[in-house]
Amino acid sequence: MTKVDEIQKGLAHRPFDAKSEAHQKFLKSLWQKIAYIKWRYPFMIFDNYPS
């Protein structure tokens, strides 16, 4: 559940500069975490994440 909480906080995060390299890395990492959780637990649904 810690990882799910981390993902939910990441999805709620609003960047100062959405086009910055740091934010793009953050998003890539977040999408990878979501993909892993969805692979392990296919019933999980994350808001703001394309299915």
pLDDT tens profile 13-36 = 888 888 999 999 999 999 999 999
Task: Specify the long-range contacts of residues 47-51, CB closer than 8 Å, at least 24 apart.
Answer: 47/11, 48/11, 49/11
Report the 10 Å Cβ neighbour count for 34: 20
Q: Collapsing DSSP states into helix, strand and coil, what is residue 3?
A: helix
The whole-model pTM stands at 0.76
> What pLDDT is stored for residue 50 in this prediction?
60
